[in-house]
Amino acid sequence: MNIILLGPPGAGKGTQSARLVEHHGMRQLSTGDMLRAAVAAQTSIGLRAKAVMDAGELVSDEIVSALIDAELLALPERAGAIFDGYPRTAHQAEQLDGILEKHNRQLHRVIELEVDEEALVRRISGRFSCAECGAGYHDEFILPQVPGTCDRCGAHEFKRRPDDNEHTVRKRLQLYRSETAPILPLYEQRGIVSRIDGMAPVDEVYRMIVKLIGTPSEHH
């Protein structure tokens, strides 16, 4: 099972991907995470991408598609892929078709998480994560059970993304509408698009996704 999780910044793609990885044995391929790792490691890609990301603009199609291609090469054949935050442009969608063919994988479903704009700004403004293991939290909606302590790994250090500010979020939302949403019709023609109410609580969104893709045993 290979799926695309599509949705504007803050829709819950990373949150739902983490659950699918943990409970469903899938692998998350997040171009945002890959780019942040490249920035942290100060690779040549990272050095080029940093300013673009901080401004809420899109990194080049060639760079992100090359990252996805490399990650797929390293993915065990039987592991299902979750494409999180990729593709984001019509050209990337075209490149993904070629990459999937090369790796002998099929795209089974495109799941769009729908969340209204003001909620997105609120979600992104309150987003933070564990500095140690990356577990995601929110100032109002998803706080650690013991204040200041990560539920998953027990660490006490947290971090926020430099691009998670209201100004940049508006820019990213605008790019989602102009560049990313227009790729949906392509997948609609193939009959593989499902829309899910991303305003629902995390558990409920997860249940709806699992209902769509089936439990892991159904894939064998």
Q: Would you tell me which residues interact with Zn ion (CB under 5 A)?
A: 130, 132-133, 135, 150, 152-153, 155
Instruction: Report the partner that residue 11 touches, choosing among Zn ion, ligand ADP, none (CB closer than 5 to 8 A by kind).
Output: ligand ADP
- Cα(154)–Cα(144) distance, rounded to whole angstroms? 10
- In the annotation, is 152 catalytic? no
Q: Which one is catalytic: 36, 50, 123, 172?
A: 172
Contacted entry of ligand ADP, Zn ion, none for residue 31, CB cut-off 5 to 8 Å set by kind: ligand ADP
Binding positions for ligand ADP, rule: CB under 6 A: 7, 9-15, 31-32, 35, 52-53, 56-59, 64, 85-86, 88, 92, 123, 126-127, 136-138, 141-142, 163, 172, 201-202, 205
Q: What is the rounded CA–CA span in Å between residue 73 and residue 59?
A: 21
Cβ nearer to ligand ADP, comparing 182 with 219 = 182
| Shortest Å, Cβ 214 to ligand ADP | 21
**177 is a catalytic site residue:** no
Is residue 170 among the annotated active site residues?
Answer: no
130 binds, among ligand ADP, Zn ion, none (CB under 5 to 8 A by kind): Zn ion
Say which amino acid occupies 184: L
**Residue 190 is a catalytic residue:** no
Distances in whole angstroms, Cα of residue 101 to Cα of each of 66, 72, 95, 104: 15, 11, 10, 5
Beta bridge partners of 213: none
The active-site residue out of 109, 152, 161, 195 is 161
> How does 88-112 read in b/e, with b if 16+ C-beta sit within 10 Å?
bbeebbebbeebbeeeebebbbbbb
Q: How many Cα atoms sit within 13 Å of 167 on the Cβ side?
A: 4
Q: Which does 142 bind (CB under 5 to 8 A by kind): Zn ion, ligand ADP, none?
A: ligand ADP
Contacts of 92 (CB under 8 A, 6+ apart): 61, 64, 65, 86, 183
Residues designated catalytic: 13, 88, 127, 161, 172
